[in-house]
Structure 1
Amino acid sequence: MWSVLLIGLTSCGHQQPSETIIERKPPVAVPQKKPQVEAPKPTLQVPMSHKVGLLLPLTGSHAKLGNHLLQAAELSLFEMGPSSLTLLPQDTTQGGAHKAALRALDAGAELLLGPLFAEDVKAIRPLVASRKVNLISFSTDQGVAGNGVFILGFLPSQQINQASNFAKTKGLTKVAALTPEDGYGKLVDQTLKQLNSQGKIKLLGITHYARGDILEGNPGNSRIKDEVSQYKSKGLQALFVPEGGENLSHLLKLLISQMPLTIVGSGQWDTQDTLDLAFDLKENFFASPDPETRGQFIRRYEEVYGEKPPRIASLAYDAVALSAALVDKGYTQQNLTLPQGFMGMDGLFRLTPQGLNERGLAILEVTSIGFKTLNPAPRSF
């Protein structure tokens, strides 16, 4: 029986997998300059026996993001030290995701990591099923999960649930939300409505908006302001705003007239962009993976590649680390869905038989000097 799988970044040397705890540590030497990656790249060859396909957009409009994830995957492989693992990076842009997956499988891949986008996952689901291999996608679209497809991306439903539970401990149960008219917004809506039906919150309403509605001067501005004002008149205690970056900035400008107001975010707040808005967001909170271990990953990535990784790069790191840890056990559904879970760069997580993931999340508060942990992430399920 396996215990929690630990993927560490704390000291030099490495350990081989054991039956109870697996801990991998970084090598003494790291590359002195940023590796050059030419895409598409047929293999990242290491003299090892087990092969894992890595499906990413390495060319085209999403090449920058795809290559960041590839670099994180390379870093993870380097951090693992000697192991019987070979990565097979394949470009999902040239020829499409189906051909990329086919190339990896024909080359002997026993597991597929990626792709990044839900439409690409849909394109290769029949192939995955026919070849009887499992796939760990970086998507957040729950609709593509199941039948050998696992979703490793950060799911808003868990973040909203966790943030709502914390808000309840503070007596904040009368809530409303501003959500975008897209798939992410629909997941947030669904979660809040479910919490309302369970009696965990009192949902006063949800205001939907198209991206253009929140731009300064758009006629949609007044509608959003008016509806938030109506929520406040009904006793609003917390407003969920699951947006990040520039969109969050636009929304905050619309909410200035409604302050003071407790605003609750989602994992999309977990970026430097949110800290840049700390003056308006201080003392507001959101649920997100443990920032401590992720901070180690960010520092290591910067040390090797000379730049900060995008937020989702840690998914590629954890996926490769998980692959390395299970390489001698096999990539069966039973092994991938260990109930004890795994401890990665984004903290505790586990894959479920339904193809989703569950994460141990922390509650973070926005302050002028960074994110403050109000409630630490759990260390076990």
Structure 2
Amino acid sequence: MSATIAATGAQPQAIASGLKRILALAMLVLLAACAAIPRGGEGPPPVVSPDPLDGMHRVALLLPLTGPDGDVGLSLANATALALTDTKSTNIQLTTYDTNLGVTAATNRAVADGNKVILGPLRGDQVLEVANIARPKNIPILSFSNDIGVAGRNVFLLGHLPNQSIDRAVRYARMKGFSRFGALVPKSTYGQRAYATLTQSVRAAGGTLVGVEEVEGGAASVDAATKRLSALGAMDVVLVADSGRAALVTVPALRRNGLRNAKVLGTDLWNIDGSLASNSTMYGAWFASVSDTLYNQYAAKYRTRFGRAPLRLSSLGYDSILLMARVARNWRPGTAFPVSQLTDPQGFIGVDGAFRFMANGLTERMLEVQEIQAGKFVTIDPAPTAFAK
């Protein structure tokens, strides 16, 4: 079976059928038997020869394997190891570098070892540090961050972008007849971007944005913000642009402070918090996210391989290797990474569904709308089957 997974077909009308075929291939890859190989990130990274004659594609993985974010980094590294086995990518030499020991030192080591592309880092505030070293060497970066402020100029984001989740949920709500929108956003850069996205999305969908209130954190701030929002006027839908944990405090406050019947919208951050499905105040809320269909199969394989459940973010690690395997088909070892292949408008398929990179470094994903019901998240509007032009 081919180790590469990519959407095919030159015409827009062919994309849907192509994606269905690729989805089947992706499921077969995830169900393939996997042999044991060393777990990514254990021990110091080896020094490798940049000799292109060995036929290997050298890929650096920059992650925190120790320290406060070590669990996240290790889950991502494990996912890449699983993907290397599943795709049988024997021509990809993946070397891990622990950014917790110093981002600059890890990047310099990766460059010196002859790597032609960097997967990582995890945090957006580390991307510029990596880019300052990698860009002069024409080494592209595929970061696991979703910080849109660091994308561009050979930096691509694999992270799920909250603006797409908000736009998808708003458009679905508008299609279902909701028209008057309000929102509660954290007082942060994330909140400011959520506010800007909501404003644009509501306008584009033909709705009315009644008002937006900022929350500074803490139950008292949430209570005050929900009261202010309620006082702005009637609204039939409210976006809570924050984490699942924050939503568990915010939604009850909405209900007791005058917005008892408003439909609640969330973001894709809710997809990583299963506790929402066990709280009755959250029942009926909607949020847009990537599909969990392939992820659930991947998670089962991960548990079998590593004896623990993966973190939801780890799917980005798996998909990054699927992407490398796809690009490796037309990438001569020892040469510069073919960046132009990343912006193929037909896109790619991974554990998190179909996605494609834009020229500005951002990622466009096909999202579905899910509803929180008793004990589960239920898909109520499937992801599109084709990218818009």
* TM-score, reference length from structure 2: 0.86
Residue 50 (1) aligns with residue 50 (2): no
SS at match of 1:179: strand
Report the 3-state secondary structure (helix = DSSP H, G, I; strand = E; otherwise coil) of the residue aligned with 1:372: strand
Q: Distance in 2 between matches of 1:152 and 1:366?
A: 26
Contact 2:303 2:309 in 1 (8 A): yes
Q: Which SS does the other structure have where 1:317 is aligned?
A: helix
**Which residue is equivalent to 2:307?**
306
How many residues align? The count is 359
Q: Which of the residues 137, 140, 143 maps onto 1:137?
A: 143
| Counterpart position of 1:224 | 225
Rounded Cα–Cα distance in structure 2 between residues aligned with 1:177 and 1:189: 8
In 2, the alpha carbon distance for the partners of 1:75 and 1:251 equals: 38
Distance change in 2, residues 1:357/1:29 (3 Å): closer
**Alpha-carbon displacement from aligned partner over 1:199-258 (angstroms, at most 9, x marks no partner):** 63211111101123xx3xx3x244223123214xx2201000122232221212322313
Q: CA RMSD in A?
A: 2.4
Equivalent residues of 1:9, 1:297 under 8 A apart = no
1:287 and 2:291 correspond = no
Letter in 1 for 2:238: L
Structure 1 residue 118 and structure 2 residue 124: aligned?
yes
Q: Does the 8 Å contact 1:159/1:266 carry over to 2? A: yes
- 1:167-215 per-residue CA deviation (whole Å, 9 max, x = no partner) reads 0111112101111112221211110122344463211111101123xx3
Give, as a single letter, the amino acid of the residue that structure 2 aligns with 1:295. Answer: N
- Deviation of 1:126 (Å): 2.0
**Percent identity over paired residues:** 30
Instruction: Write the deviation string for residues 61-120 of structure 1: whole angstroms up to 9, x where unpaired.
Output: 1111111111111111111114310101111111x2222122112111111100011111
> CA distance change for structure 1 residues 274 and 163 in 2, over 3 Å: closer, same or farther?
farther
Q: How far is the alpha carbon of 1:37 from its aligned partner?
A: 5.1
CA–CA distance in 2 between the matches of 1:291 and 1:26? 15
AA matched with 2:124: A
Which structure is richer in relative contact order (CA contacts within 8 A, separation 6 or more)?
2
Determine whether 1:28 maps to 2:33. yes
SS, match of residue 109 in structure 1? coil
> Which residue number corresponds to residue 360 of structure 1?
366
Give the match's secondary structure for 1:178: strand
Q: 1:79 aligns with which of 69, 80, 86?
A: 86
> Which whole-Å CA distance do the structure 1 matches of 2:41 and 2:98 have between them?
12
SS at match of 1:211: coil
Matching residue of 1:38: 42
Q: How far off is 1:27 after superposition?
A: 4.1
Aligned with 2:100: secondary structure? coil
Q: Is the CA contact 2:236–2:261 (under 8 Å) kept in the aligned structure 1?
A: no
Q: How does 1:66-105 map to 2 (within 5 A)?
A: 66-94=73-101, 96-105=102-111
Alignment of 1:219-368 (within 5 A): 220-231=221-232, 234-257=233-256, 258-330=259-331, 331-368=337-374
Residue aligning to 2:199 = 193
Give the Cα–Cα distance (whole angstroms) in 1 for the partners of residues 90 and 181 of structure 2. 50
Cα distance in 2 between the residues matched to 1:82 and 1:292: 24
- What's the offset of the Cα at 1:378? 2.0
Kindly tell me: are residues 256 and 102 of structure 1, through their superposed partners in 2, closer, same or farther at Cα, counting changes over 3 Å? same
- What letter matches 1:241 in structure 2? V
Given candidates 162, 173, 181, the residue that maps to 2:168 is: 162
In the alignment, structure 1 residue 206 sits paired with structure 2 residue 207: no
8 Å contact kept, 1:65–1:310? yes
CA shift digits 1:271-319 (9 cap, x unpaired) = 3434444411212211100121111111111121122211211011101
- Give the 3 Å change call, closer, same or farther, for CA 39–188 of structure 1 in structure 2: farther
Matched-pair contact (CA < 8 Å) for 2:30–2:297: no
Whether the 8 Å contact between 2:277 and 2:375 is mirrored in structure 1 is: no
Higher helix content, 1 or 2:
2
Structure 1 residue ranges without an equivalent (≥5): 12-23
The separation in 2 between residues aligned to 1:128 and 1:137, in whole angstroms, is 13
TM-score of the aligned structures, taking structure 1 as reference length: 0.87
1:222 and 1:295 map into 2 onto residues whose CA distance is 36
In the superposition, relative to structure 1, how do residues 131 and 306 fare at CA in structure 2: closer, same or farther (>3 Å)?
same
Asked if the contact 1:161–1:191 (Cα under 8 Å) also holds between the matched residues in 2, the reply is: yes
Query: 1:151 and 1:221, CA in 2 relative to 1: closer, same or farther beyond 3 A?
Result: closer
Contact 2:298 2:351 in 1 (8 A): yes
Match of 1:10 in 2: 27
CA distance in structure 1 between the partners assigned to 2:126 and 2:103 by the alignment: 5
Q: Quickly say closer, same or farther: Cα 1:54–1:284, change in 2 above 3 A.
A: same
Whichever residue aligns with residue 210 of structure 2, its letter is L
